[in-house]
């Protein structure tokens, strides 16, 4: 199981990234634990200056944009 964290304050882009991540994991057949990180101090610990961002198993993979489902599938592979 991969730990996937969505970093953001809950804006529409953050919600879309979470939706895309769930759809990508389902399509790829990958089990994920999805955690939404909304605390700005926790987000800053990742060194992320632009949200939304996505962290997979502790590594920042995306920051400042919302990749589509196919792009997230590639990141999960």
CA atoms within 13 A on the CB side of 68: 1
Which residue intervals of 1-77 are DSSP H helices?
Answer: 12-28, 40-45, 69-76
pLDDT at 51 over 90: yes
Candidates 2, 3, 11, 40; catalytic one: 11
pLDDT of residue 77: 86
Instruction: Count the domains in the chain.
Output: 1
Q: Are 65 and 21 in contact (CB under 8 A)?
A: no
pLDDT at 62 over 90: yes
Is 14 tagged catalytic? yes
Domain span including residue 11: 2-76
- CATH number of residue 58's parent domain: 3.40.30.10
Candidates 4, 6, 7, 14; catalytic one: 14
54, two tokens: 């996505």
pTM for the predicted model, two decimal places: 0.93
Name the pLDDT band for 48 (thresholds 50, 70, 90): very high
Q: What is the pLDDT of residues 15-43, one digit of tens each?
A: 999 999 999 999 999 999 999 999 999 99
């Amino acid at each position: 199981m991969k730990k996937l964290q969505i970093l953001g304050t809950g804006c529409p882009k953050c919600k879309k990234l979470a939706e895309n991540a769930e759809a990508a994991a389902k399509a790829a057949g990958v089990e994920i634990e999805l955690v939404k990180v909304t605390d700005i101090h926790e987000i800053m610990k990742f060194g992320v200056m632009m949200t939304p961002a996505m962290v997979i198993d502790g590594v920042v993979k995306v920051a400042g944009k919302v990749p589509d489902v196919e792009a997230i599938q590639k990141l999960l592979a």
